[in-house]
């Protein structure tokens, strides 16, 4: 017996209510409990209740996104089997190591009825309980007929996720929505979408697992310009491209189209807040990736988090996941993604390098979209695709342990690429990306392969002095004069000693006085015949990047050392820092030398990486180096470590300011049941001083009762 209490029933009352206080349930070890009642002259039946670990904000998210279908059981379960189906779903999600789910909860089918939104308020075969309900109602000695009031399987799932500490976020519109609202492919008008948002929010807000809404994974601007606007825009664009003359016509017209997403976000936020009551819910949206008529500083300005959505419906643009982290990152906001890594062959060769590259670049969460296994072929004994579930399970185990540690770090890039608002206002579609966007992407992946990882600087985020920390600044495809904000920041950085380089696609009149020619044009990717939907593009994109590596080394190496040296350019690396600690992230993205004609007999190129051990020369004079995932001190010879990337295609080397001599754990000798106890752990050097770095530790807390619990 854990606790007892009394409740008094009023004369003639049919029900008596009591509540278990949060302080009581929070002190319980997760498990199954029984609430028992007793009353004179009555037969009382215990009520089973399952207590989970409860909600808690995770600093790192492991994600399952139901982009094309739900991650949870929403259509099939009925009053007879819904609890079992929900329990099975929860067990599966927990075994996969997922802590954050995203579903199209706001979508009511293609025509606004039914779908996941409709399923929130109904459950199958409810009418089969009518006869039982009548019998219980008519029998004064029977159990309460309210026991039959089953909520939908959606809400049962939300309740189960709340107990288990899992978060769920709803997507409001259909897969490809449009701006202004009401156009293909979600044709709901503004009023209907607001009504659906209110309805869904009121149903979901009582559940602590409900995190909030994603306003759109994909929304595209379909607003038409008037003939006069179109003519003025085309004339201004032609003049800018041919003569380098900037026009406010481009700024005014583009800003008005970018603003459509901002206005929709504000309108939806107001409706959500009104429907949520006391709950403070979170909002997110995607630009999405590569959308020409979007601009991260503006499109993402009125949401709390950034969805790094990039939808290609099977084969994505190579390198897009890690690029999305840098290009769409917004200061102070969580950024999380769920790329389509469906074509993995069950070995992890696609999943692991793709997702860990996002971690390496500093995302706050990542995972998969669709099903854990998208193309199961059980009838083919050669297929190993079902192994994808084991890959996710193992990978999420690592991220659950180390994700909070990653969240303490920040990127330590020494190279930055300017993201000019004016150039993005001039951008036009070419193949599946914008022309200017493709050139920025090409510069980014070239820097990664040259072991000079780079990020982006937008004018809205930049003031004089902000670029001084970068040793090299790249200007790419600049056809018109830089914005005053970027120009002032570049000039300040140059005065502080930063080197400025511009590629051969720039108009020289605007950049020659700022820096030096880079000696290469980032203009190959834009001519690729099939940037998305083509497995062979993974070889071609690598070759585009490698074509610039020599020029980048010639220009950048004298200005800034490589993040680390490796003779294999397909070993991608980045450095992150926390305190005085440096952390080298290493990802094996080495493509096979087999061409498509041979490889496609057995596998796809994107799902085939070469297992290897890479020799990596570290910068500086490292005093203490740990191979984090190996859990041991790394063997360093002449500054070189061996990165074993055969079975685990990613590594993290912690370069610490001092050796770890011991770990000190401090806390109370005893804690009363149900009470909290504070504890600390510290890594110390041989002199007994704390190591001034973020050190990952695994601490086991055990309690001794009827049985040991850990």
Q: Is the pLDDT of residue 9 over 80?
A: no
**What pLDDT, on the 0 to 100 scale, is given for residue 109?**
60
Residue 556, number of CB atoms within 10 A of its CB: 24
| CA–CA dist 169, 585 (Å, integer) | 30
**What pLDDT, on the 0 to 100 scale, is given for residue 114?**
67
292, 434 in Cβ contact below 8 A?
Answer: yes
- For residue range 17-67, what is the model confidence (pLDDT) as tens digits? 788 888 888 888 888 999 998 888 777 888 888 898 888 888 999 999 998
Q: Is the pLDDT of residue 195 over 80?
A: yes
Residues in the chain: 710
Rounded to 10°, the helix 248-276/190-204 angle is 40
- For residue range 407-424, what is the model confidence (pLDDT) as tens digits? 999 999 999 999 999 999
CA angle 501, 506, 510 (to 5 degrees): 80
Q: Is the pLDDT of residue 481 over 60?
A: yes
Between residues 327 and 140, the one the model is more confident about? 327
Query: Average of pLDDT values for 445-449?
Result: 98
Q: What average pLDDT is seen over the chain?
A: 93
| CA–CA dist 262, 246 (Å, integer) | 25
- The enclosing H or E element of 422 equals helix 421-425
| CA–CA dist 436, 218 (Å, integer) | 21
Q: Is the pLDDT of residue 541 over 70?
A: yes
Burial class (CB in 10 A: 0-12, 13-18, 19+), 106: buried
Output the CA–CA distances (angstroms, integers) from residue 453 to 287, 447, 474, 532, in the order listed. 23, 5, 12, 23
Query: Average of pLDDT values for 413-440?
Result: 97
Into which CATH architecture does domain 417-557 fall? 3-Layer(aba) Sandwich (3.40)
- For residue range 295-305, what is the model confidence (pLDDT) as tens digits? 999 999 999 99
Q: For residue 701, give the 3-state DSSP assignment.
A: coil
Predicted TM-score (pTM) of this structure? 0.95
- For residue range 53-94, what is the model confidence (pLDDT) as tens digits? 888 888 999 999 998 889 999 878 899 999 999 999 999 999
Q: Which residues contact 544 (CB under 8 A, 6 or more apart)?
A: 442, 445, 446, 524, 525, 528
**What pLDDT, on the 0 to 100 scale, is given for residue 705?**
59
123, 78 in Cβ contact below 8 A?
Answer: yes
**What pLDDT, on the 0 to 100 scale, is given for residue 58?**
85
Q: How confident is the model at residue 112 (pLDDT cuts 50, 70, 90)?
A: very low
Q: Which residues contact 653 (CB under 8 A, 6 or more apart)?
A: 583, 584, 586, 616, 618, 625, 626, 627, 628, 634, 641, 643
Q: Is the pLDDT of residue 707 over 50?
A: no
| CA–CA dist 417, 424 (Å, integer) | 14
Domain borders along the chain are: 61-409, 417-557
Q: Is the pLDDT of residue 359 over 70?
A: yes
**What pLDDT, on the 0 to 100 scale, is given for residue 41?**
78
467, 474 in Cβ contact below 8 A?
Answer: no
**What pLDDT, on the 0 to 100 scale, is given for residue 704?**
65
Do 61-409 and 417-557 agree at the fold level? no
Fold of 61-409: TIM Barrel (3.20.20)
Q: Is the pLDDT of residue 665 over 70?
A: yes
Q: By C-alpha distance, which of 600, 61, 133, 643 is closest to 368?
A: 61
Q: Which residues contact 46 (CB under 8 A, 6 or more apart)?
A: 34, 35, 36, 37
């Amino acid at each position: 017996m854990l606790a007892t209490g009394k409740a008094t029933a009023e004369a003639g009352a049919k029900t008596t209510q009591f509540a278990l206080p949060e302080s009581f349930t929070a002190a319980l070890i997760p498990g199954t409990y029984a609430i028992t009642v007793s009353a004179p002259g009555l037969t009382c039946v215990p009520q089973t209740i399952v207590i989970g670990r409860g909600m808690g904000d995770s600093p790192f998210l492991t994600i399952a996104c139901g982009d094309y279908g739900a991650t949870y059981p929403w259509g099939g379960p009925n009053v007879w089997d819904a609890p079992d189906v929900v329990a099975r779903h929860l067990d599966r999600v927990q075994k996969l190591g997922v802590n954050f789910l995203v579903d199209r909860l706001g979508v009511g089918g293609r025509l606004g009825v039914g779908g996941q939104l409709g399923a929130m308020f109904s459950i199958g075969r409810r009418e089969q309980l009518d006869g039982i309900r009548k019998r219980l109602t008519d029998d004064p000695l029977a159990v309460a007929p309210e026991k039959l009031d089953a909520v939908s399987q959606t809400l049962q799932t939300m309740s189960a996720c709340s107990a288990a500490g899992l978060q769920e976020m709803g997507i409001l519109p259909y897969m490809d929505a449009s701006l202004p609202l009401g156009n293909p492919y979600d044709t709901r008008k503004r009023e209907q979408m607001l009504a659906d948002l209110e309805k869904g929010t009121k149903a979901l807000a009582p559940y602590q697992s409900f995190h909030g809404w994603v306003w759109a994974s994909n929304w595209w601007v379909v607003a038409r310009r008037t003939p006069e606007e179109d003519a003025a825009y085309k004339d201004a664009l032609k003049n800018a491209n041919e003569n380098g003359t900037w026009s406010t016509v481009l700024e005014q017209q583009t800003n008005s189209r970018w603003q459509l997403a901002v206005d929709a976000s504000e309108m939806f936020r107001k409706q959500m807040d009104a429907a949520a009551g006391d709950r403070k819910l979170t909002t997110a949206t995607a630009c999405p990736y590569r959308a020409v008529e979007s601009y991260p500083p503006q499109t993402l300005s009125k949401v709390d988090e950034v969805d790094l959505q990039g939808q290609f419906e099977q084969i994505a643009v190579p390198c897009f996941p890690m690029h999305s982290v840098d290009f769409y990152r917004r200061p102070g906001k969580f950024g999380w993604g769920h790329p389509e890594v469906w074509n993995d062959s069950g070995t992890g060769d696609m999943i692991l390098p793709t997702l860990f590259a996002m971690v390496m670049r500093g995302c706050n969460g990542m995972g998969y979209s669709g099903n854990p296994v998208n193309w199961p072929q059980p009838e083919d004994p050669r297929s190993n695709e079902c192994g994808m579930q084991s890959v996710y399970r193992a990978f999420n185990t690592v991220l659950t342990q180390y994700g909070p540690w990653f969240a303490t770090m920040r990127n330590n890039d020494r190279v930055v690429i300017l993201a000019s608002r004016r150039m993005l206002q001039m951008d036009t579609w070419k193949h599946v990306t914008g022309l200017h966007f493709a050139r920025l992407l090409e510069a980014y992946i070239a820097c990664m392969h040259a072991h000079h990882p780079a990020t982006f600087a937008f004018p809205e985020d930049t003031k004089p002095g902000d670029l001084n920390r970068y040793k090299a600044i790249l200007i790419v495809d600049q056809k018109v004069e830089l914005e005053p904000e970027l120009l002032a920041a570049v000039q300040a950085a140059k005065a502080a000693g930063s080197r400025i380089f511009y590629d051969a696609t720039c108009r020289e009149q605007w950049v020659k006085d700022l820096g030096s020619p880079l000696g290469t044009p980032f203009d190959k990717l834009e001519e690729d015949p099939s940037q998305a939907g083509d497995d062979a593009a993974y070889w071609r994109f690598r070759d585009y990047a490698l074509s610039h590596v020599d020029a980048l080394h010639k220009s950048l190496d004298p200005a800034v050392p490589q993040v680390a040296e490796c003779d294999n350019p397909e070993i991608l690396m980045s450095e992150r820092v926390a305190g005085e600690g440096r952390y080298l992230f290493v990802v094996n993205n080495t493509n096979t030398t087999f061409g498509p004609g041979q490889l496609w007999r057995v596998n796809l190129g994107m799902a085939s990486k070469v297992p290897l051990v890479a020799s990596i020369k570290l910068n500086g004079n490292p005093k203490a180096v740990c191979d984090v995932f190996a859990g041991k001190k790394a063997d360093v010879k002449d500054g070189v470590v061996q990165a074993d990337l055969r079975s685990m295609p990613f590594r993290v080397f912690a370069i610490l300011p001092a050796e770890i001599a011991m770990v000190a754990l401090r806390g109370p000798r005893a804690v009363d049941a149900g009470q909290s106890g504070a504890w600390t752990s510290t890594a110390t050097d041989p002199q007994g001083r704390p190591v001034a770095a973020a050190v990952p530790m695994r601490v086991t807390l055990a309690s001794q009762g009827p049985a040991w619990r850990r």
